[in-house]
């Protein structure tokens, strides 16, 4: 099912507003299933009876993947569902959410306006809380253009919107997937996506127009295998010959 | 350690069960004892011999039911096993004459050990015992008697008077200091040996190959020697915290070796009570964090006697002072009080530190890992690493665990509390490891390898003090670690990267500017975020250290970094 801003239906036709699709990866987060935009495609890698009951009762489309834990692969499974089920165009947008990062503020019209107005291929959604080191200033309205060409860049995939055209550019580099599927542990699949966006000339911005529940930052300290993820990250960067800057371009407020 | 040799080793015993009283008593029951001194027997004997200041164990064994003397008693040929089930408290026990003699005689000694003697003198080495003596309670022995193996007791204070070299040295044991010991989390077993008269020295050599409970490792071993004629007694002390759970515990075999040269530390105001570990080929010291499974068991020659949990790609650096591990002994009291702590002797405080580098199961010489320092007299295990030019090389390793040690220091009542004492978090009462910087050789780093550096801050055992009734004084303390912010200048730890071209500026999160560390004199370093460990399972409770606690990790910081195209990227700090 496609999500349409019903109150903007007429404007869709007259103004050519892009369509927003939504992919939610959910793992044991049944209680949040109804908190995402209508029409979200849920991807379960450890589906429960409760998950299936909720999806059946509410007619949620969902994908059940067999291998648990690979967040990038799971997002790609939802993306495949969207691309094969709907007639999407390059200007349409696919939003990706983690199952516990439901939007607490949701302004897709403002997001689209920013993406179209500033040629943003990928818009990262801010979280309610941000305890990362080295915060990037993001205004309450508008967005900040960020540099994802550094090793530990600010790309995080718990909630972001991406133009289908930009998605296809990344998939071209990755050999058919948006995410690199070799990241099987927590972490780094998003920062690697940030590097690929930079390489493919995709502009990435950060916005508060849509806010996510929770905190960005600090999770790395709760995962004891983070070092393995980092090593995988470095290995793939070197394998692909991706250049990494050690000094980011200044962020630009849009 | 060996189990009781008089019984078959039970393979089904586990590390956790052996030291529990019930299991220990099961072991005891499996031993065939030739004689058992029961509490009733002991009480009756004392009632019949009021005012006794010493008791011959043989007289007790031979006594009548009402405690009166029985001069006619059969003789048993050595070797024999004797179990003292009674609490004999501080009554000195005589273990010669009536109990055992090198000559056979009618109506004579209980134990006929004539086969072990030659012309009335015991001829066997001290390790071959004519009597295996076990006790459920502490006991005091009047004199050293050759041929007696003092096997383990949960709490034994064996006081020998007028030690004689020829008679050799009795065995002592390693004991858990808590009957509910958890080998996965508590390291509280102590072996203490003191030799206070000249003659044969001794070493402590736990025999790893005969561990009945392979998971058990004596966590901390202190050894202390002194010499001189000041003391006329030979003391062995094996202390235990819990006196309510008697039983049979494991024993560590100790051998006697010649050539020990104990030495007094010079320059300490209470030199009579502070001693250094003598450098001896058999000297060994361990520092352990049982919770981390890390045992540093150090021999004077650099060998390691225990199997260490050390992965091939990891390095352990322990930054501590091996020679200053005194076992404080207050000689003014015949009962003996002791404290255990890592103390920098001298008057200048703990203003320098010594490093040991453990790589691939072997200790490295300092020059191997830190090539740029200069120093004066070099001991294999004690080397002042020096100043900022010293760098650490990972070589083929990817993980470095660096342990820093902190200890209580105060040559005053806080070391010998005569009453309940509160050691404050005043900086003057704590020894800190003054070294808070680790320079890393950046040229040695391999490209594309994610390295891990973990900074562990350890708090060493606490001094304790018991009165004559073995009642511990409560010692409360606030370690400054918990009262200071972790980024306090005193406790912060910095990593620096050095290349052949000088200091290397690391990049943080892909940027040389977006970071939270401080630049010092133009040199950018990584200020390690250290997290205070407050869970009771892994660290110290905030605000208070329980008395008699042993090694605990107070803070842990971890840094991950990688070198790419010559730039060092800090990925987590």
Per-residue pLDDT of chain B (573 residues; tens, 9 = 90+): 223 333 333 333 333 333 333 333 444 555 677 888 888 899 999 999 999 988 999 999 888 888 998 876 777 888 888 888 788 866 878 887 788 876 655 556 788 777 766 666 555 433 346 787 777 665 666 655 556 665 543 333 333 333 333 222 333 333 333 333 332 222 333 333 333 222 233 333 332 222 222 223 232 222 222 222 222 222 222 222 222 222 222 222 222 222 222 222 222 222 222 222 223 334 333 433 333 334 444 343 433 333 344 556 777 666 654 333 333 323 333 222 233 333 333 333 222 234 556 666 555 555 555 543 322 222 222 233 333 345 788 888 898 888 776 654 433 333 434 444 444 444 444 555 556 777 788 888 999 999 999 887 766 544 444 444 434 343 444 444 444 434 455 556 778 787 777 667 777 766 554 344 444 444 566 767 666 654 333 333 333 333 333 445 667 788 889 998 888 888 876
DSSP B384: B
Residues of chain A neighbouring B530 (CB-CB closer than 8 A): none
The minimal CB distance from B450 to the residues A150, A230, A244 is found for A230
pLDDT in the model for residue A120: 97
What does the alpha-carbon distance between residue A55 and residue A52 come to, in Å, rounded to a whole number? 5
* CA-based nearest residue to B150, from B181, B119, B174, B183: B174
Q: How much is the pTM? A: 0.56
Angle, CA A31 vertex, CA A26 and CA A36 arms, to 5°: 65
First to last CA, chain B: 42
**Other CB atoms closer than 10 Å to residue B190's CB: what's the count?**
25
Cβ contact, residue pair B512, A247, below 8 Å: yes
How close, in Å, is residue A247 to chain B by CA atoms? 4
Q: What is the distance between the alpha carbons of residues B283 and A66, in angstroms, rounded to a whole number?
A: 58
Q: Where are the beta strands (DSSP E) in B244-341?
A: 254-257, 263-264, 275-276, 284-289, 294-299, 314-319, 327-329, 338-340
Asked if B512's CB is within 8 angstroms of A152's CB, the reply is no
Pairwise CA distance, residues B312 & B521, whole Å: 37
* Contact (CB, 8 A) for B445 and B414: no
Residue B5 has which token pair?
Answer: 């040799």
Helix axes A189-199, A164-174, angle to 10 degrees: 100
- How far is Cα B122 from Cα B147, in angstroms, rounded to an integer? 7
Q: What is the H or E stretch that residue B405 is in?
A: strand B399-408
| Three-state secondary structure of chain A | CCECCHHHHHHHHHHCCCCEEEEEEECCCHHHHHHCCCCCEEEECCCCHHHHHHHHHHCCCEEECCCCCCHHHHHHHHHHHHHHHCCCCCCCEEEEEECCCCEEECCHHHHHHHHHHCCCCEEEEEEEEECCCCCCCCCCCCEEEECCCECCCCCCCCEEEEEHHHHHHHHHHHCCCCCCCCCCCCCCHHHHHHHHHHHCCCCEEEEEEEEEEEEECCHHHHCCCHHHHHHHHHHHHHHHCCCCECCCCCCEEC
Interface of A with B (CB under 8 A): 133-134, 149-153, 220-221, 226-227, 230-231, 234-235, 237-238, 244-248
CB contact under 8 Å between B560 and A227, yes or no, is yes
**Number of Cβ pairs < 8 A linking chain A and chain B:** 71
For residue B461, the 8-state DSSP code is P
| Contact B560/A at CB under 8 A | yes
Q: Which of chain B's residues have a Cβ under 8 Å away from the Cβ of A220?
A: 572
Interface touch A151/B448, C-beta < 8 Å: no
Cα B131 to Cα B61: distance, rounded to the nearest angstrom: 14
Q: Kindly report the nearest CA distance between residue A100 and chain B, in angstroms.
A: 24
Closest-CA residue of chain A to B399? A227
Which of A135, A228, A230 to probe the B interface (max B CBs under 10 A)?
A: A230
Q: At what angle do helices A189-199 and A226-240 cross, to 10 degrees?
A: 20
Chain B hits for A234, CB-CB cut-off 8 Å, are: 448-450, 562, 564
Looking at residue B320, its pLDDT comes to 52
Q: Using only C-alpha atoms, what is the Rg of chain A?
A: 17
Q: Which residues of B touch A244 (CB under 8 A)?
A: 510, 564-565
Provide the ipTM: 0.77
The answer for residues whose C-beta is within 8 angstroms of residue B564's C-beta and 6 or more apart is A151, A234, A237, A238, A244, B447, B448
B509/A246 Cβ within 8 A: no
Q: Which two tokens stand for residue A158?
A: 């718990």
Query: Sign (positive/negative) of CA torsion B275, B276, B281, B283?
Result: positive
Q: Which residue reads 């995962």 in tokens?
A: A223
What is the distance between the alpha carbons of residues A202 and A200, in angstroms, rounded to a whole number?
6
A133 with B562: Cβ contact below 8 A: no
Sign of CA dihedral B306, B310, B314, B316: negative
pLDDT at B117: 66
Q: Smallest CA–CA separation between A30 and chain B, in Å?
A: 31
Please tell me the predicted confidence (pLDDT) of residue B172: 32
- Residue B368, min C-alpha distance to chain A (Å): 27
Q: Which residues contact B486 (CB under 8 A, 6 or more apart)?
A: B492, B529, B530, B531, B532, B555
| Eight-state DSSP code of residue B98 | T
Across the interface, of A134, A226, A231, the residue whose CB is closest to B509 is A134
Quick one: CA dihedral B465, B471, B473, B476, positive or negative? positive
- Which residues in B lie closer than 8 A to residue A153 (C-beta atoms)? 509-510
Region label for B161, one of left (φ > 0), alpha (ψ between -120 and 50) or beta (otherwise): beta
Residues of chain B found within 8 Å of residue A227, distances taken between Cβ atoms: 450, 452, 560
B538 and chain A: CB distance < 8 Å anywhere? no
Work out the minimum CA distance from B516 to partner chain A, whole angstroms: 7
Q: Are strands B552-564 and B567-572 parallel, antiparallel or unpaired?
A: antiparallel
Kindly report the nearest CA distance between residue B278 and chain A, in angstroms.
42
Query: How far is it, in rounded angstroms, from Cα B182 to Cα B171?
Result: 26
SS (H, E, C) B497-563: EEECCEEECCEECCECCCCCCCEECCEECEECCEEECCCCCCECCCCCCCCCCCCEEEEEEEEEEEE
Are B56 and B93 within 8 A, CB to CB?
yes
Structure tokens at B443: 């040229």
**Closest approach of A225 to chain B, Cα-based (Å):** 12
Residue of A234, A244, A245 to mutate when probing chain B, most B C-beta within 10 A: A234
From chain A, pick out residues whose CB is under 8 angstroms from the CB of B452: 227
Q: Which of B:513-532 have CB within 8 Å of A? A: 513-516
Compare all CA atoms of chain A with the CA of B452 and give the residue at the minimum distance: A227
- Choose among B450, B513, B564: nearest Cβ to A244: B564
Q: At what angle do helices A71-85 and A189-199 cross, to 10 degrees?
A: 60
Contact A227 B450 (CB under 8 A): yes
Cβ–Cβ below 8 Å for A247 and B516: no
Task: Using CB atoms, pick whichever of A150, A220, A221 lies closest to residue B511.
Answer: A150
Tokens 């550096």 belong to residue: B453
Whether the link from the prior residue into A7 is cis, omega within 30° of 0, is no
Exposed e or buried b per residue across B202-212, where buried means at least 16 C-beta atoms within 10 angstroms of its C-beta: bbbebeeeebb
Give me the residues paired with residue B504 across strands. B497
Distances in whole angstroms, Cα of residue B271 to Cα of each of B98, B226, B341, B347: 41, 11, 16, 12
> Are B325 and B285 a contacting pair, CB within 8 Å?
yes
Q: How far apart are CA B492 and CA B494, in angstroms?
A: 7
Q: Which residues of chain A have pLDDT under 50?
A: 1-16
- Pick from B448, B452, B513: CB nearest A234: B448
Cβ distance of A133 and B515 shorter than 8 Å? yes
Q: Which of A234, A235, A246 sits opposite B567 (nearest CB)?
A: A246
Chain A residue numbers touching B514 (CB-CB < 8 A): 133-134, 248
Cβ contact, residue pair A151, B565, below 8 Å:
no
Which of A134, A234, A235 is facing B515, going by the closest CB pair? A134
**Which residue in A has a C-alpha nearest to residue B557's C-alpha?**
A221
* Residue A193 near residue A155, CB atoms below 8 Å: yes
Interface check for B572 against chain A (CB to CB < 8 A): the answer is yes
**Helix boundaries (H) for B324-475:** 366-369
Q: How far is A248 from chain B (nearest CA, A)?
A: 6
Q: With 0-12 CB in 10 A as exposed, 13-18 as middle and 19+ as buried, what is B248?
A: buried
Nearest to B348 by CA among B313, B384, B381, B308: B384
- Determine the residue among B442, B509, B532 to mutate to test chain A binding: the one whose Cβ has the most chain A Cβ atoms within 10 Å: B509
| pLDDT score at A148 | 93
Q: Look at residues B291, B295, B285, B286 and name the one whose alpha carbon lies nearest to residue B182.
A: B291
Closest alpha carbon to B436 in B396, B491, B483, B506: B491
Q: Note whether B510 contacts A227, CB cutoff 8 Å.
A: no
Task: For residue A61, give how far its alpha carbon lies from the nearest alpha carbon of chain B (Å).
Answer: 38
* Nearest to A82, CA basis, from A124, A24, A30: A24
Beta-carbon count within 10 A of A61 CB = 14
d(CA A132, CA B9): 57
Rounded Cα distance, B77 and B97, in Å? 15
Longest dimension (CA), chain B: 93
| Burial class (CB within 10 angstroms; exposed 0-12, middle 13-18, buried 19+) of A43 | buried
CB contact under 8 A, B569 and A152: yes
């Amino acid at each position: 099912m496609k999500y349409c801003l019903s109150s903007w239906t007429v404007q869709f036709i007259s103004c050519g507003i892009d369509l927003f699709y939504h992919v939610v990866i959910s793992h044991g987060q049944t209680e949040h299933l109804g908190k995402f935009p209508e029409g979200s495609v849920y991807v379960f890698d450890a589906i429960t009876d409760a998950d299936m009951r909720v999806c059946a009762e509410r007619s949620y489309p969902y994908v059940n993947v067999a291998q648990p834990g690979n967040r990038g692969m799971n997002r790609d499974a939802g993306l495949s569902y969207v691309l094969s089920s709907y007639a999407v165009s390059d200007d349409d947008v696919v939003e990706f959410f983690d199952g516990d990062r439901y939007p607490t503020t949701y302004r897709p019209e403002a997001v689209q306006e920013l993406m179209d107005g500033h040629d943003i291929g990928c818009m990262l959604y801010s979280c309610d809380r941000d305890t990362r080191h080295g915060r990037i200033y993001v205004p309450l309205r508008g967005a900040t253009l960020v540099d994802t060409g550094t090793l530990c860049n600010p790309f995080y995939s718990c909630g972001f919107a991406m133009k289908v055209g930009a998605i296809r550019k990344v998939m071209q580099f990755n050999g058919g997937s948006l995410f690199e599927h070799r990241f099987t542990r927590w972490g780094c699949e998003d920062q690697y996506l940030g590097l690929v966006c930079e390489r493919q000339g995709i502009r990435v911005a950060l916005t508060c127009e849509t806010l996510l529940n929770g905190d960005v930052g600090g999770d790395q300290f709760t995962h004891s295998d983070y070092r393995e993820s980092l090593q995988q990250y470095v290995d793939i960067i070197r394998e692909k010959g991706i250049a990494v800057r050690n000094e980011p371009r200044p962020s630009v407020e849009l | 350690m060996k189990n009781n040799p008089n019984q078959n080793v039970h393979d089904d015993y586990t590390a956790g069960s052996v030291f529990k009283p019930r299991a220990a008593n099961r072991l005891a029951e499996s031993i065939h004892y030739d004689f058992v001194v029961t509490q009733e027997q002991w009480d009756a004997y004392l009632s019949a011999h009021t005012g006794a200041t010493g008791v011959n164990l043989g007289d007790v064994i031979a006594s009548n039911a009402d405690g009166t003397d029985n001069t006619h008693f059969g003789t048993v040929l050595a070797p024999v096993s004797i179990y003292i089930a009674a609490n004999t408290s501080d009554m000195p026990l005589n273990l010669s004459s009536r109990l055992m003699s090198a000559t056979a005689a009618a109506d004579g000694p209980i134990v006929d050990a004539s086969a072990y003697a030659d012309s009335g003198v015991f001829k066997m080495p001290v390790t071959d015992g004519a009597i295996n003596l076990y006790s459920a309670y502490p006991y005091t022995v009047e004199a050293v008697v050759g041929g007696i193996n003092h096997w383990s007791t949960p709490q034994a204070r064996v006081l020998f008077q007028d030690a004689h070299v020829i008679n050799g040295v009795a065995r002592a044991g390693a004991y858990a200091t808590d009957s509910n010991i958890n080998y996965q989390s508590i390291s509280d077993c102590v072996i203490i040996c003191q030799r206070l008269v000249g003659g044969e020295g001794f070493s402590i050599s736990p025999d790893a190959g005969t561990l009945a409970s392979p998971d058990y490792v004596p966590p901390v071993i202190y050894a202390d020697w002194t010499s001189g004629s000041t003391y006329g007694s030979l003391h062995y002390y094996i202390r235990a915290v819990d006196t309510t759970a008697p039983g049979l515990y494991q024993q560590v075999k100790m051998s006697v070796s010649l050539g020990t040269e104990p030495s007094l530390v010079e320059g300490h105001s209470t030199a009579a009570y502070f001693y250094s570990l003598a450098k001896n080929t058999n000297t060994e010291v361990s520092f352990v964090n049982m919770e981390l499974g890390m045992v540093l068991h150090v021999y004077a020659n650099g060998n390691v006697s225990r199997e260490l949990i050390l992965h091939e790609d990891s390095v352990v650096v322990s930054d501590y002072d091996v020679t200053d591990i005194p076992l404080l002994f207050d000689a003014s009291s015949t009962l003996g009080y002791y404290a255990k702590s890592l103390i920098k002797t001298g008057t200048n405080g703990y203003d320098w530190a010594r490093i040991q580098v453990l790589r691939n199961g072997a200790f490295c010489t300092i020059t191997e890992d830190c090539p740029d320092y200069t120093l004066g007299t070099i001991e294999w295990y004690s080397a002042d690493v020096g100043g900022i030019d010293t760098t650490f090389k990972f070589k083929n390793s990817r993980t470095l665990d660096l342990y820093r040690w902190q200890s209580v220091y105060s040559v005053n009542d806080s070391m010998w509390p005569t009453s309940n004492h509160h050691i404050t978090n005043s900086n003057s009462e704590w020894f800190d490891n003054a070294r808070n910087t680790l320079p890393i050789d950046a040229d040695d780093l391999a490209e594309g390898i994610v390295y891990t550096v973990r900074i562990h801050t350890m708090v060493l055992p606490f001094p304790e003090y018991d009165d004559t009734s073995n009642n511990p004084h409560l010692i409360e303390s606030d370690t400054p670690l918990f009262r200071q912010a972790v980024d306090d200048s005193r406790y912060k730890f910095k990593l620096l990267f050095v290349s052949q071209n000088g200091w290397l500026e690391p990049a943080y999160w892909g940027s040389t500017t977006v970071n939270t560390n401080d630049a010092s004199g133009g040199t950018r370093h990584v200020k390690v975020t250290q997290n205070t460990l407050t869970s009771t399972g892994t660290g110290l409770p905030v605000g208070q250290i329980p008395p008699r606690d042993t090694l605990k990790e107070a803070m842990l910081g971890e840094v991950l970094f990688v070198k790419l195209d010559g730039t060092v990227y800090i990925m987590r700090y």
